Structure 1
Amino acid sequence: MAFLSPVQVNIVLFILLLILFGHTYFNMNRKNITNRLFMWIMGLTAFAIMLEILSVLLNNPNLKQFMVVQKMVNVLGFTVTPVIPFLGYIFSKEWVDRYQKEKIKLNKILLLPLFINGIMAVISYSINVLFYVTSENIYERGPLFFILPCVSYFYFGYNIYFIYEQRKKFSWWELRIFNLFYIAAGVFTGIQLVYSSYLTIWNGTAMMIVIIYIFILNDQVHRDRLTGLENYSSYEHYIENVSFKKIDKLFIINIDIDDFKNINDQYGHNEGDEALKMFANLLVESFPLRRKKLIRVGGDEFLILLEGERQEIAENYIRNLNENIEAYNKTEEKPYEFKFSYGMACYSNANENIHDILKCADQLMYEQKKSRKVEFY
């Protein structure tokens, strides 16, 4: 009965994933592709845990009558295992694509390892390839068992490589959470490969899915659905806790799109929404720093928080934004042009009130906007 404790853990995690799956199904927006992908990953992980439970319970000489069932369970288990990290790659791709104008194309070559592994798993039902079940109804690894871990580690490695390549599109927390998932999966897989009695692969995967689920929920609370930038809730949370952060300098840049009301009035609110999304993309391109927060405060007003930077660096990124907007106005065939006003102030947690600095940046922005209107008239 040495297997009882690992199976009990599997059963608990299986029930937990089923509960979370029900919560995601009824509370998440299922039209969102990243939410659907996450639900598939969660559901397949629960399915894989169930298969592992059955495989362990059926691996018994006293249950020879269920030998066919045990073979089918292992065929399904070997087939499903690499599908989950593959879906993880698609999830990561769609995550960084959520609010981007240019989408990343799916690398279809990555389907080949899945196909090879699936064929080998099906063949193993009757031929000793990846696994076999003895006449005593005992599971054994086959001569080509190494194919499955090789395929799995290929996807783990490719996911980490993809995240590194797209690192500028991930936030600080996203980089760490997503990398942790695949690093942890690799470690847990290695443990079970060496010590087959320890059912660590799906236990570890289930725990990481719970962590990512919490992260996704938190991200949705603090994310503006239209532009993909952080929202007012994120802004409030940051300001409330800024005094606890060890920040030498914090540059606060308040930005407002000039004459945005005219875009809505003349071309409709749909075009206004498209304008807001494009302006947000220009902000992302112009402020590539890791230690930053890009926030849509509301309407056409944006806030940029730059931690620990010098004033000339902050001013340089404002110039980047001006240049990117000028290039956009020249190349895009829109009946309107982007213009913006901004105010910048610096906060030091030594002896200043963050709310006073925010008001100062806001006032400077409105003064610039007012002066531009006077110049125009």
Structure 2
Amino acid sequence: MNEILFAEIYYICVAIMLILGFKTYRSMIKNTQKVSFLAVVFLHILYFQTNLVRMTNTQNLFLNEMSFLFFSLCTFSWFNYIQTMLEVRYEKKTQTLIALIPLIVSVVLLLVNTLNGCLIYIDHNGNFQEGPLYLLYVLINDFYYFVGAYQAYVYSCRANNYQQKKSYQILGIYMAVIMIVGTLQDIFRSIPIFCVGTSLSILIVYISLEEQMISIDPLTQLNNRNRMEQYLFECMRNADVNMYLLVLDVDKFKQINDTYGHAQGDLALKSIANCLKEACIEKSDFIARYGGDEFVIVYKGNDVEGLCQRIHMYIQQLSFPFDLDVSIGCAPYQSGLRKWNDWFIVADKQLYQEKKKLKDR
């Protein structure tokens, strides 16, 4: 391959990762996901650097081994990033050790390689050749990618809302993509497929993460108003008749804030958000915080009354020094509606009627 073209591709990839690394560093305080992502970016920069030097100086066995080491650390960093995104927690030390076994085996193989050349060695012509355990080393590192993609798939099937499901699917797809481009790199060694593939994957995952943060409410971890408007627009376009729009408002929330403080009010909103997640047992249900003490649910099912009853029951069971409940306005989807805002107005009017009944009591 043309060396000038390869150099351009290489420096573009490194420049992309340096920019993403800097942006991640600026906003990584108290955010485990971004710290893990920064580790992935940093290790890939080191891997590309050693890989480039190795290709320009094929006689240096040490640089080759360092490139293998950074590759192993990259695969583990990707795996760790998936764990933090999925919020997987290891409850026992043995589980943590099991997760580290492939990395430990890879490092041991690299140490043994210096003695007997089991991974790579230099032949009589001064060229690098694969050792008998090279394929085993590749499969061990691919194990992290495979497990990460599988976990993302499983969690996407268990997701309680559309946004989580989409995020987990994106992570699983890109773990599978990296595994595939790594395999292609072993076949087409003269073309920097892995360099380009991983860089683009990092870029797309970062964009997806930023998009997720833009569409998630930071207090309740529900979808925010921007995401709600987008989802309602998609619902109107699909025109599914069996849909209900629920608009919820916390009863006497201003009084709760004035009497018990905003900290208790925020805690109440978080608890209500968790109740809504538990009550919405259908995977197609969409939950969002519209703003303040208002929430929105798009229900695609046949028992909307049962859903409302579950919501009231779960919220009334919360332990707070004050009574906590919500008023609910519900509007079924009608084919005559042209804009999602029209659908929302109908549900909001029903909510207003419920609030009026509450005041008259």
Q: Tell me which interval the TM-score lies in, with the shorter structure as reference length.
A: 0.7 to 0.9
3-state secondary structure, aligned to 2:170: helix
Q: Distance in 1 between matches of 2:78 and 2:278?
A: 26
* Distance change (3 Å), C-alpha of 1:45 and 1:301: same
Offset at residue 89 of structure 1 (A): 3.1
AA matched with 2:135:
F
Normalising by the residue count of structure 2, what TM-score does the alignment of the two structures yield?
0.87
Question: 2:79 maps to which residue?
Answer: 89
Is 1:49–2:48 an aligned residue pair? yes
Match among 219, 230, 233 for residue 223 of structure 2: 230
The aligned runs of 1:1-377 (5 Å cut-off) are 5-26=5-26, 28-59=27-58, 67=59, 70-97=60-87, 104-105=89-90, 107-108=95-96, 109-134=98-123, 137-167=126-156, 168-169=158-159, 171-239=164-232, 243-306=236-299, 309-310=300-301, 312-326=302-316, 328-329=317-318, 332=319, 334-348=320-334, 350-375=336-361
Offset at residue 134 of structure 1 (A): 4.2
* Distance change (3 Å), C-alpha of 1:353 and 1:7: closer
* Distance change (3 Å), C-alpha of 1:203 and 1:372: same
3-state secondary structure, aligned to 1:82: helix
AA matched with 2:65:
V
AA matched with 1:105:
Y
What whole-Å deviation, never above 9, does each CA across 1:122-159 have from its counterpart, x for those lacking one?
33234312222346543222211123211222112211
What whole-Å deviation, never above 9, does each CA across 1:32-88 have from its counterpart, x for those lacking one?
1111111211222222222221221112xxxxxxx4xx3232222222223333333
AA matched with 1:260:
F
Q: Distance in 1 between matches of 2:269 and 2:65?
A: 50
AA matched with 1:22:
F
What whole-Å deviation, never above 9, does each CA across 1:290-331 have from its counterpart, x for those lacking one?
43432111111111123xx34x243333333334335x43xx
The answer to whether the Cα contact below 8 Å between 1:82 and 1:151 also exists between their aligned partners in 2 is no
AA matched with 2:265:
G
Offset at residue 238 of structure 1 (A): 4.1
The answer to whether the Cα contact below 8 Å between 2:72 and 2:103 also exists between their aligned partners in 1 is yes
What whole-Å deviation, never above 9, does each CA across 1:198-238 have from its counterpart, x for those lacking one?
33223211111111111112222221111111112223444
Normalising by the residue count of structure 1, what TM-score does the alignment of the two structures yield?
0.83
Offset at residue 337 of structure 1 (A): 4.5
3-state secondary structure, aligned to 2:142: helix
Unaligned runs of at least 5 residues, structure 2: none
AA matched with 1:16:
I
What whole-Å deviation, never above 9, does each CA across 1:87-131 have from its counterpart, x for those lacking one?
33332332243xxxxx73364111111111112113323431222
* Distance change (3 Å), C-alpha of 1:346 and 1:129: same
3-state secondary structure, aligned to 2:288: strand
The answer to whether the Cα contact below 8 Å between 2:151 and 2:172 also exists between their aligned partners in 1 is no
Identity of aligned residues (%): 23
Q: Distance in 2 between matches of 1:350 and 1:222?
A: 29
Q: How many residues align?
A: 353
* Distance change (3 Å), C-alpha of 1:105 and 1:365: farther
3-state secondary structure, aligned to 2:248: strand
Computed over aligned residues only, the root mean square deviation of the Cα atoms, in angstroms, reads 2.6
Unaligned runs of at least 5 residues, structure 1: 60-66, 98-102
Q: Distance in 1 between matches of 2:193 and 2:141?
A: 15
Offset at residue 368 of structure 1 (A): 1.7
Q: Distance in 2 between matches of 1:263 and 1:75?
A: 63
AA matched with 1:84:
C
AA matched with 1:85:
T
AA matched with 1:318:
C
AA matched with 1:104:
R
Q: Distance in 1 between matches of 2:144 and 2:241?
A: 41
